[in-house]
Amino acid sequence: MFGAILLAVLIPLGALAFGVRRELDRRLTREYQARVEAMAAVLESDLRRASGLVGQRLEAIVAQLSKDNRFRLAVQGDIASRPYLLDAAGQAMRLSGLSLLQIQHPDGRILSSGHFRNEFDRMEPDLPLLLESASDSLVLLRARTPDSSVLALTRIDSVRIGTRSVKIIGGVEADPRLLGGLARDSSLAVKLEYPGAAMASIPGSRIVRELRLPYIDLTAGSGVSSDTARLLVTQSLDALGSLRKGVTRWFLVALALTVLMAVVGAAWLSARVSRPLRDLAEKTTRVDLDRLDQSFATERSDEIGTLSRLLASMMERLRASSVRVREAERRAAVGDLARQVNHDIKNGLAPIRNVLRHLSQVLQQDPASLPQVFEARRGTLESSVEYLNTLARNYDRLAPGIERKACDVNAIVEQVISNISHDGVGIRAQLSPHPPLALADALVVRRILENLVGNALDSLSGKPGGEVTMSTERVGGAPEPARVRIVVADTGTGMTESELNRAFDDFYTTKSGGTGLGLSIVRRLILDLEGTLRVETQPGEGTRVLVELPTVPARESGP
Amino acid sequence: MSHAPVPTNQDERLVFRQLFPALVRLDCQGELRPALATSWHTDSTGRSWTFALRDGAQFADGSSLTARSIEIDWSRRAGALREAGLDSVRVINDHTIRLTMNDPRDSLPRAFADPLWSVVSTSLVTRMSGARLTVSLGPGQPILEIAATGTGDLRDALDAGADLVLSGDPQVIDYAARTSELDSYLLPWDRTYVLLQHPGTQPPTAALDSSLKLSLVQDVVQTDARPSMSQQWWNSSSCSVEISMKATAPTVPRIVYQQTDPVARKLAERLVAIAEDQPPLSAVAVDPLRFAAELERGGNRGYILGIPLQSASPCRESAKWTRRGRLYPLIDTRQHVIVRRGSPALTVDWDGTPRFLVETDLQQETSR
């Protein structure tokens, strides 16, 4: 989310910065172009003006000298006027405000020099010719002074003395002040470049226009040399550079603010969206059937609120379902108990019914033997009544307790065999002669065996010649504790693997009219006695149920 | 900057001459005259000289000047005087002093008239500030101020009441002639301007001849000048000057002169204008205080300097210049002394330096 916000803000911002810089460049360049054109025009007009100014001053000097008799005499060779002539150029130069003034004889001899007074009599015949060939335009002249040189924008004029045309060369200094005056723009500068001067480019500026001037150098020594000088209009790139820097700086500031706001925004959104979702997830993981008290109540009106309300209504439905499930469980448990009671009573009444049926049969067929028969079956009646009586006591307590004590499993097996009705089916007992005494509740063992034998007999129905075998034996022993094993085997229908897997579940039955509780009760009772149960079955071949019970420890067991 | 008590230029010589008497003096004809000393004699060796001092001799500030004053002053300048030949000074009594020289002298050395041998008052302080030399009795009590030539307009100094002005400027001389209370007198030729070049260097122009010198006088210097004579005191044969002709190739194409000397400037500029050097020479002014150092360091194409036309100790003076290279004399100059009327009487010494006459001088002058 953070990255997405950043991208969403940075890309438009970058495009804006790029656009602003580009537009700025374009406009400034256009503006500069116009200024450069204006500047070049001003420069040209200034140069024309400077040329006119020098021309006017030379004209004034010419007018003054042409009237000056001492000058006239000196030019014509009058010795007495010579000192006057030597100083004439200097005085005229200072009075006229020129920086260079040289008066030359037609033969090229310097008669008087304003900028280098003691240069008189030196021959310089080429200079006037070069200057005259430049007609009205200014010439950049580099002339010697006693200690250095002077660079002047120069023109030439002449004064006629008799038959001689005396040359008057004058100029104004091309110093930085003059050039600064030419450039009346803070970002544009005028630079004079001429042979021999430093040609190094000014850093941070570019040349936008150049004007050419004839250039004469008198300081080179080897005669007069003529060349070209350039007046360069340079544009300072500082302003543009600082403007660009400013835009970049503000862009970076905006960028920093954006990143900061994105971070803050992401943190806020996280607090607003992610945390409630995480909370909802945590609450959901805590929900199970035992904990349906999680509250998803909320007052939020956004998507999270909607989700919370959906979860809350689901919880409501879950709670209602849970109540219904518990009610069903309770009802099932009550039904189970009733069926168990019914089943146990039926098991207790069956021997009595058999005895009564036998007695009535004897009464009808051989009434005389009734007392003997009665006496013989009296034990069965009494034990059945006792069984029912115990059952009644147990159910009366509602929690039938188990009373574990030493009991003879052989005797119980025999009792079960004698009690059970097994019409035409053989029940064989293979009893160990000295089985150890089991540590168990005899009644519970009897219930287990009656259930198992009942099931075995059921599996033989419709299968003539079938047989049920009950056997006891001692298993285990040192070092493991010895155990009593009781096996109920039949040659009945057997079970498939899926039938076996479900055989001990509550309410599972393969018989019509069965409760499906017999084996599940058996398993529970064996677990109560701390015994084990194993079933070996093969469909079509029969089933062996092996029950192992703990024995009485050695000191408790009899011989 | 406290000035060393040895005069080094024309202005300081003028001051020295007014303030600090020497034992003897040379008059304008070069004759030896008594000054601080009235009589002198030597012993048989010619090394020891005994001077009898004038009674009541005083410094300019009125303090008495005795043999003891001479000993004190000269011990302060022992180095310079020993270089000039002095071995020892012995005070015999207040009015008698005996000097022992290193070498025997046949006659009284004229060198004793040199301002070097003046007696300087310890209570007088000379101080150079800018181009103005101030002499004072102590801090803040100036008794004499001298403006160096070339600074300001000397006519302003005259208007401001200066009693004595030395100048070669035609404008100043003309102004003095037009002013009733000023008198102007021509002084002897006192100075020679020379081009000094280091050994092994050719002159900047081949034509250092009489016509050039004439042109310098007529067209260039604009002061009272004449072409310099060929024979000068510094190459007189009596001095056995050892000139070390160690050739130093000039590296800088320039001719150097003292900033405060307008005559030297004009000469330098003219030489630069006509020089045949490539690249062209330039004329460069240096501060007077730095000039000696510039000269010592060497390396320039040449130097323009003005040196006294007369010297009381030519051998010592010439050694000062000639050991640096070759001197090409260009022009001699002289000055006018402009004196306010009513000032004390004036005399001129052999070297062209004017001096107000004190009472004793007047007595001596009249006795002659």
Tell whether A116 lies on the interface with B, counting CB pairs under 8 A: yes
Calculate how close chain A gets to B308, using CA atoms only, in Å: 25
Q: Which of residues 283-322 of B touch A (CB under 8 A)?
A: 283-285
Q: What is the average pLDDT score of chain B?
A: 79
From B219, B268, B273, residue closest to A122, measured CB to CB: B273
Q: According to the per-residue pLDDT averaged within each range, which of A96-110, A516-530, B22-36, B58-72 is highest?
A: A96-110
Residues of A in contact with B217 (CB under 8 A): none
Question: How many CB atoms lie under 10 A from the CB of residue A366?
Answer: 11
Report the alpha-carbon distance of residue A240 to residue A86 in Å, rounded: 54
Contacts of B102 (CB under 8 A, 6+ apart): B47, B85, B86, B87
Closest to B306 in 3D by CA, of B113, B168, B208, B135: B168
Q: What angle do CA B317, B321, B323 make, to 5 degrees?
A: 110
Phi, psi of A314 (to 5 degrees): -60, -40
pLDDT at B97 (0 to 100): 93
Question: Residue B46: pLDDT band by 50, 70, 90 thresholds?
Answer: confident
Q: Which residues of A295-331 are buried (b: 16+ CB within 10 A; e: fewer)?
A: ebebeeeeebeebbeebeeebeeeeeeeeeeeeeeee
- Residue in A closest to B254 by C-alpha: A147
Question: Residue B344: pLDDT band by 50, 70, 90 thresholds?
Answer: confident
Note whether B119 and B68 are within 8 A (CB): no
B326 domain-assigned: yes
Question: Cβ–Cβ of B273/A221 closer than 8 Å?
Answer: no
One DSSP character per residue, A233-296 reads: EEEESHHHHHHHHHHHHHHHHHHHHHHHHHHHHHHHHIIIIIHHHHHHHHHHHH-BTTB-----
Report the alpha-carbon distance of residue B203 to residue A525 in Å, rounded: 147
Domain with B202 in it? 190-334
Tell whether B130 lies on the interface with A, counting CB pairs under 8 A: no
Report the alpha-carbon distance of residue B98 to residue B89 in Å, rounded: 6
Residues of A in contact with B280 (CB under 8 A): 144, 219, 221
Residue A514, Cβ density class (10 Å: 0-12 exposed, 13-18 middle, ≥19 buried):
middle
Percent of chain B with pLDDT over 90: 13
Q: Which of residues 212-231 of B touch A (CB under 8 A)?
A: 218-220, 222
pLDDT at B3 (0 to 100): 38
Question: Cβ–Cβ of B273/A82 closer than 8 Å?
Answer: no
* Best residue of A112, A118, A217 to probe chain B, by most B CBs closer than 10 Å: A118
B22 domain-assigned: no
Tokens of A438: 């089991």
B115 domain-assigned: no
Residues of A in contact with B283 (CB under 8 A): 146-147
Report the alpha-carbon distance of residue A66 to residue A74 in Å, rounded: 12
Complex confidence, ipTM: 0.70
Report the alpha-carbon distance of residue A511 to residue A29 in Å, rounded: 106
From A82, A121, A147, residue closest to B284, measured CB to CB: A147
* Best residue of B169, B211, B219 to probe chain A, by most A CBs closer than 10 Å: B219
| Predicted confidence (pLDDT) at residue B5 exceeds the cutoff of 60 | no
Q: Which residue has the higher pLDDT, A319 or B138?
A: A319
B214 domain-assigned: yes
Question: Cβ–Cβ of A144/B280 closer than 8 Å?
Answer: yes
**Which of B73-77, B179-183, B364-368 bottoms out in mean pLDDT, i.e. has the lowest?**
B364-368
Calculate how close chain B gets to A112, using CA atoms only, in Å: 11
Residues of A in contact with B220 (CB under 8 A): 118
One DSSP character per residue, B44-87 reads: TTSSEEEEEEPTT-B-TTS-B--HHHHHHHHHHTHHHHHHTTEE
Question: Cβ–Cβ of A118/B270 closer than 8 Å?
Answer: yes
- Residue in A closest to B271 by C-alpha: A118
Per-residue pLDDT of B272-320, as tens digits, reads 988 888 788 899 999 888 888 888 888 888 999 888 877 766 666 777 7
Closest to A21 in 3D by CA, of A351, A310, A250: A250
Question: Cβ–Cβ of A221/B280 closer than 8 Å?
Answer: yes
| Predicted confidence (pLDDT) at residue B62 exceeds the cutoff of 70 | yes
CATH of the domain at B221: 3.40.190
- Residue in A closest to B268 by C-alpha: A146
- Residue in A closest to B283 by C-alpha: A147
Q: Which residue has the higher pLDDT, B246 or A220?
A: A220
- Residue in B closest to A113 by C-alpha: B273
pLDDT at A111 (0 to 100): 93
Q: Which residue has the higher pLDDT, B348 or B218?
A: B218
Calculate how close chain A gets to B251, using CA atoms only, in Å: 16
B303 domain-assigned: yes
Tell whether A86 lies on the interface with B, counting CB pairs under 8 A: yes
Tell whether B268 lies on the interface with A, counting CB pairs under 8 A: yes
B274 domain-assigned: yes
Residues of B in contact with A121 (CB under 8 A): 274
Residue numbers in chain A where pLDDT is lower than 50: 556-559
Report the alpha-carbon distance of residue B32 to residue B21 in Å, rounded: 14
pLDDT at A556 (0 to 100): 46
Question: Cβ–Cβ of A147/B273 closer than 8 Å?
Answer: no
Residues of A in contact with B222 (CB under 8 A): 83
From A83, A146, A219, residue closest to B269, measured CB to CB: A146
B217 domain-assigned: yes
- Check residue A435 and report its DSSP letter: P
Question: Cβ–Cβ of B279/A148 closer than 8 Å?
Answer: no
Tell whether B282 lies on the interface with A, counting CB pairs under 8 A: yes
Number of domains in chain B: 1
Calculate how close chain A gets to B104, using CA atoms only, in Å: 50
Domains of chain A: 2-241 (3.30.450.20), 287-401 (no CATH), 403-559 (3.30.565.10)
Share of chain B residues as helix, strand and coil, in percent rounded to the nearest 5: 30, 30, 40
Note whether A404 and A529 are within 8 A (CB): yes
Note whether A93 and A100 are within 8 A (CB): yes
Q: Output the pTM of the full model.
A: 0.58
Question: Cβ–Cβ of B220/A119 closer than 8 Å?
Answer: no
B36 domain-assigned: no
